Amino acid sequence: MAPMKRTVSALMVAAPASHQGKTLLSAALVRLWRRRGLAVAAFKAGPDFLDPMVLARAAGRPVDNLDPWMVGEAACRRRFARAAAWADVVVVEAVMGLSDGAPSSADLARLLGLPVALVADASGMAQGFAVVPLGMRALEPDLHFLGVLANRVAGARHEALIRTRLPADLPFLGSVPRDAALTLPERHLGLVQAGELPDLEAALDRAAGHLAATALAEPPPPVPVPAAPPEVDEPRLRGRRVAVARDAAFAFVYPANVDWLRRQGAQVRFFSPLAGDPLPDCDALWLPGGYPELHLETLAARTDLMDQIRAHHRAGRPILAECGGMLFLLRSLRDRDGREYRLAGLLPGEGAMTNRPQALGMQAVEWAGETLRGHTFHYARAEVGWSPTARARRHPNGAPGEAVFCRSGLWASFMHLYFPSAPRALAGLLGAQRKR
């Protein structure tokens, strides 16, 4: 491991709200600085799966999530310090608006001592554009704002107008033009997955070219690397073979979860249900969330895989199914057009896709003496014939959240779990072997 550095060039790319363009511009900064020969580490604030896929394409490596509640404050500092040990610059993309959430991206910036570059959509604004960064600074007066980057600017005259009322101590960092090629497409749950965007590389290069003419062409000044306590690993899953579904239908996988499995001593074996892969020889199966609803015809045709999963279950081997993974284990799932597809049937019930989100936000569930943390975001309903074994609580208000169904070695919920939040509980779920 590289020795820990005392300082590193770093910043948070934030915005006053969602849909301002911070994912593309964060990724463009990563691409720009990498093209100049710098080693760049990228992180995503919050529990998002889709934005990190874009950042990972720009960074050329997996992108971890940072959240003081889900990941934990000490672990956030530790992950940041590890990145700082090898990186010349660290980029953290904020989540939602800078001040939104509990904890917010502003809280994360404070925790890590990050300066903030504010991205704001300038569409339909002129001199009044200054209200946005001035208002954000008034809300978060203890943060260091590097300045503001205007997105979707119509031209040179428009840029001149939006710069007019900005004070000298909140500098204008530059602008990115209004350009259809610089808009990342979205669907329900967020951005379209990076692997489905054939023009993503060109978009990143194009955006990086625009940023090369801004004040962000050079990385920001160094900041102190926060101290973090060392992590102690216990290899509770040593020798266990854990099969993990991973493709466009089952893509919602935190890199930290895979890293945690390996640090616990597990052998991780990826397979693609969409590509026709059989279930690998394994001791435990993890079916993560994703977009199974977009691939139901292909998944419903995988009767061979469903037979293998049922045999795995009959053999007493554990299954962890999250959100889309849980939907795959139902008897059937209806798409938004009302078409019904027969699925694995390990969970007695039916599911249906909806046009409105059914749940959104951070949640936690008490399990085996620990608090399993994670989040939920889905456009599906499921009627399960079992009584819930437990029920999660929403953060921060503690209201009832997602049901957890656990029976005969199968653990299923709409929750996406952050494995390192409860290592003993997760090791118990994936390491248990039920007698036949």
Per-residue model confidence as pLDDT tens digits over 269-305: 999 999 999 999 999 999 999 999 999 999 999 999 9
pLDDT of residue 435: 44
Q: What is the DSSP letter of 266?
A: -
Q: Look up tokens 């967020």; give the residue.
A: 190
Q: Average of pLDDT values for 38-45?
A: 98
pLDDT of residue 436: 40
Q: Average of pLDDT values for 151-174?
A: 93
Q: Average of pLDDT values for 79-106?
A: 96
pLDDT category at 229 given cuts 50, 70, 90 is confident
Per the annotation, the verdict on 323 as an active-site residue is yes
β-pair partners for 376: 361
pLDDT of residue 233: 75
Token pair for residue 214? 């801004």
Task: Give 198-237 as a DSSP string.
Answer: TTHHHHHHHHHHHHTTSGGGSPPPEEEPPP-PPP----TT
Show the CA angle centred on residue 415, arms to residues 386 and 393, nearest 5°: 85
pLDDT of residue 433: 59
CB 327 within 8 A of CB 414: no
pLDDT category at 232 given cuts 50, 70, 90 is confident
Q: If DSSP states are collapsed to H, E and C, what string results for 289-339? A: ECCHHHHHHHHHCCHHHHHHHHHHHHCCCCEEEECHHHHHCEEEEECCCCC
pLDDT category at 188 given cuts 50, 70, 90 is confident
Choose, from 76, 282, 323, 406, the residue flagged as catalytic.
323
Tell me the domains of the chain and their CATH numbers.
7-224 (3.40.50.300), 241-431 (3.40.50.880)
Amino acid code (one letter) for 295: H
Query: pLDDT tens, 60-77?
Result: 999 999 999 999 999 999
pLDDT of residue 230: 84
Answer yes or no: is pLDDT of 354 > 90: yes
Lowest mean pLDDT among 5-19, 219-233, 373-387, 391-405: 219-233
Q: Look up tokens 């903030």; give the residue.
A: 116
> What is the percent of the chain where pLDDT is above 70?
98
Q: Average of pLDDT values for 408-422?
A: 97
CA gap 49, 53 in Å, rounded: 7
Q: What is the chain's alpha carbon radius of gyration, rounded to the nearest angstrom?
A: 22
3-state secondary structure of 12: strand
Q: Average of pLDDT values for 157-183?
A: 90
Q: Average of pLDDT values for 159-187?
A: 88
Residue 185's Cβ-count burial label (10 Å; 0-12, 13-18, 19+) is exposed
Q: What is the DSSP letter of 387?
A: P
pLDDT category at 3 given cuts 50, 70, 90 is low
pLDDT of residue 265: 95
pLDDT of residue 194: 82
pLDDT of residue 383: 93
CA gap 405, 388 in Å, rounded: 5
Averaged pLDDT of the chain: 93
CB 120 within 8 A of CB 128: no
